[in-house]
Structure 1
């Protein structure tokens, strides 16, 4: 693949301002008996790949970290990726979360998490939602996920959803990525209720087939798509693993197969990469089917490397993802 960060992409930066809300963690990747350290987390992965694809686009990352050396490194990494970090909260006595990936030969992975002292869980403590909402004024696209919801205490989750609803009333579009992790929820019934509340204020729903099956026991893509559309999402995208992507845009349903089989080294962040390319394409007014193709292509590049964030040199050229525009 031709190396490119997409710096030649023309984006109406003055009309779009993106915020990604969630948790960025320390990543330990184990493969073949070797360990590699990095950073990752669904919302951070989305923010990084979106910024790489559209460097002119202002992308703000919203999280909380500690006051320690690892948090300093994490913040420097976010800034080095070009993300706006002015609203990253620093909390004394807290640390970044950590996840350890063990990758099997087929690229599938097992995760082990340490989140007990995670600063991101305290993002909205002390009434911080008021200051955060002021800071996010003028945001045109705000992204959050099932993990964003799951890590927050009940009161903070309530405050976040209410804040997002107010932003939406003021013209901000909301993007919700399902990313259901059963281990982060006390029970599936609470997760269903909170997902329903999130979907009710969502404009663009990015769903995972495995998430929908685990959460709702849905087995048919139509049911998965229609559930989110009925809640009010104008665009619903269903990622069906390595096979295809299905979508519902208004009343029109479409399917885009994966262009060619991929030999996965590590499937971490495949869905986040797909989401980033999808959003980057749609922000350039590319039609849904070609946006899905861009998502497939970036996901294929990401799973060919270990860890969540691939080297910049491994990024596909913009023309490969979006065509010559």
Structure 2
């Protein structure tokens, strides 16, 4: 990998509403791959470039998103702006234990046409030029069948040219017509993945795997498999070697939103800078432990 890697993250950013205890709503922006993009940019410092790949509308919320991303140092050259369209919206409701419930309004979100418009052609053509391409199970769901097929072609070309593909499983049943449709889509893309960042609970929900061993056994061809297991140790298989790294305990969990996204970002940043899988997992746990002590997906910089 080059010392100044070019990284593209593909997915959806939504308008985020945080439901506060007093009944008020705090508005911000969030989405799994966008959260990872922001934290990856912060963790990398001056190393490389991080571009976000998505589609937005031509509205004021989309304008504000782009401004926030630019302020975070993300590249906007792969962001489409579709006239008359809007971003999706979601609301986070958090219980006394920090566990969250999500309510979504996203059926007409612009990102659903991210790879089906004429403007998508140069973006799809540019993706294989990146050193690292990252996407998630949510990306797969919102792109739709045509978008997924076009993404798959771009991923295969990325690898053919020497780039690496990273996938975070983030399985959300409500985004799929049924579990079989999700399984088929996941199996197709997993054949083009170099680094799999998998939440073990999601693997169990999607494929019925009973434990970590079954998950590892399901992906013999993937060089680096990282199993995220919430407050329990993460387990990693990299180049045939295994390592387990305990999570960091925190005194009070405020909001678990973006815990996995931030772990993935810090893990990848550390690996890109030459850290071992074990060192990278420590970095992931450190950032995630900070994120879950603050409301919302993106904690303040610094």
* Band the TM-score falls in, shorter-chain normalisation: over 0.9
Equivalent of residue 247 in structure 2, options 258, 263, 271 = 258
Kept after mapping to 2: 8 A contact 1:129/1:160: no
Equivalent of residue 304 in structure 1, options 280, 293, 296 = 293
- 2:64 equivalent to 1:81: no
Kept after mapping to 1: 8 A contact 2:252/2:293: yes
Question: Which residue of the partner structure matches residue 37 of structure 2?
Answer: 47
Gaps of 5+ in 1: 1-10, 314-325
Question: Which residue of the partner structure matches residue 209 of structure 1?
Answer: 200
**How does the TM-score come out when normalised to structure 1?**
0.89
Cα displacement (A) at 1:152: 1.4
Question: Which residue of the partner structure matches residue 241 of structure 1?
Answer: 230
Matched residues in 1 for 2:196 and 2:54: separation? 21
Cα displacement (A) at 1:284: 1.1
User: In the TM superposition, what whole-angstrom CA distance separates every residue of 1:278-324 from its partner, at most 9, and x where no partner exists?
Assistant: 001101111111111111110000000000000013xxxxxxxxxxx
Equivalent of residue 18 in structure 2, options 29, 38, 42 = 29
Kept after mapping to 2: 8 A contact 1:24/1:44: yes
Equivalent of residue 145 in structure 1, options 136, 161, 181 = 136
Equivalent of residue 271 in structure 1, options 260, 263, 274 = 260
Matched residues in 2 for 1:227 and 1:120: separation? 30
Aligned residues: CA RMSD: 1.4
Gaps of 5+ in 2: none
Where relative contact order (Cα < 8 A, 6+ residues apart) is larger, the structure is 1
Matched residues in 2 for 1:165 and 1:138: separation? 12
Structure 1 moving runs of 4+ over 6 Å: none
Question: Which residue of the partner structure matches residue 176 of structure 2?
Answer: 185
Equivalent of residue 103 in structure 1, options 94, 97, 107 = 94
Cα displacement (A) at 1:137: 4.8
Cα displacement (A) at 1:226: 2.2
Question: Which residue of the partner structure matches residue 281 of structure 2?
Answer: 292
What are the equivalent positions in structure 2 for 1:193-204 lying under 5 Å apart? 193-204=184-195
Aligned residue pairs: how many?
300
